[in-house]
A and B are shown apart, each in its own frame.
Chain A
Amino acid sequence: MGWNIRLKIGLAILLFFVVLAFGVSWLAPVDPSAQGSYLPYLPVSADHLLGTNALGQDIFWFLTESVRNSMILGLTVAACTTLISLAVGLVAGYRGGKTDRFIMLLNDSFIVIPTFPILIVLSSLVRGRAGFPAIVAILIAFGWAWNGRTIRSVALSVREREFINMARFSGCRTARIVVQEIFPYVYAYTVVGFINSILYAINIEAALAIIGLSDVETPTLGSAVYWPNTYSAIMTGNYVWIGAPVVAISLLFLGLFLTSTGYNQYFAERRGHS
Chain B
Amino acid sequence: MNLLKYLVSRFATYLAVLFIGITILFILPRLMPSDPIEQYIGSLAQESSVALTAEQVADIRKVLAEMYGLEGSMFEQYVGFLRRVFTFDFGPSLSAFPKPVSEFIAAALPWTAGLLATATVFAWIIGNLIGLTAGYFHHSRWAAVIETVGVLIYPVPYYVFAIVLIILFAFLMPVFPLTFTVMPGPLSLEKVKDIAYNSALPAAALVLAGLGYNILGMKSLSYSAKEEDYVTYARLKGVRDREIMYRYVFRNAILPQVTSLALSLGTIFSGALITEMLFSYPGVGLLMRRAVGDGDYNLLYGTVSVTIVAVATATLVIDLIYPLFDPRIRHR
Contacts and interface: CB of A to CB of B under 8 A. Distances in A.
Contacts of B312: 112-113
B111 interface: no
Interface string A226-260: 00010000110001001000100110011011100
Interface stretch (B46-54, B79-87, B128-136, B264-272): B264-272
Contacts of B292: 120, 123-124, 128, 213
Given A112-B312, A229-B163, A117 B277 contact: no
A256 B155 contact: yes
Contact of B13 (A105, A199, A213, A249): A105
A112 B17 contact: yes
B327 interface: no
A111 B263 contact: yes
A120 B304 CA distance: 9
Contacts of A19: none
A115 B29 contact: no
Interface residues of A, number: 48
B272 to A, nearest CB: 10
Given A112-B13, A112-B311, A112-B312, A203 B157 contact: yes
A249 B162 CA distance: 14
A110 interface: yes
Interface string B214-258: 000000000000000000000000000000000000000000000
A128 B27 CA distance: 18
A112 B262 CA distance: 8
A207 interface: yes
A112 B34 CA distance: 29
State the main secondary structure of chain B at its contact with A: helix
A113 B20 contact: yes
A124 B274 contact: no
B1 interface: no
B307 A250 contact: no
Interface stretch (B58-66, B93-101, B164-172, B191-199): B164-172
A186 interface: no
A209 to B, nearest CB: 10
B265 A112 contact: yes
Given A112-B13, A114-B270, A116-B270, 9 more contacts: A108-B13, A109-B13, A111-B263, A111-B266, A113-B21, A116-B273, A123-B292, A207-B270, A242-B163
Closest 6 interchain pairs by CB?
A116-B270, A114-B266, A253-B155, A257-B155, A124-B292, A109-B16
Interface of A: 6, 101, 105-106, 108-118, 120-128, 146, 199, 203-204, 206-207, 210-211, 213, 225, 229, 234-235, 239, 242, 246, 249-250, 253-254, 256-258, 261
7 contacts: A110-B20, A114-B267, A114-B270, A116-B274, A206-B157, A234-B166, A254-B152
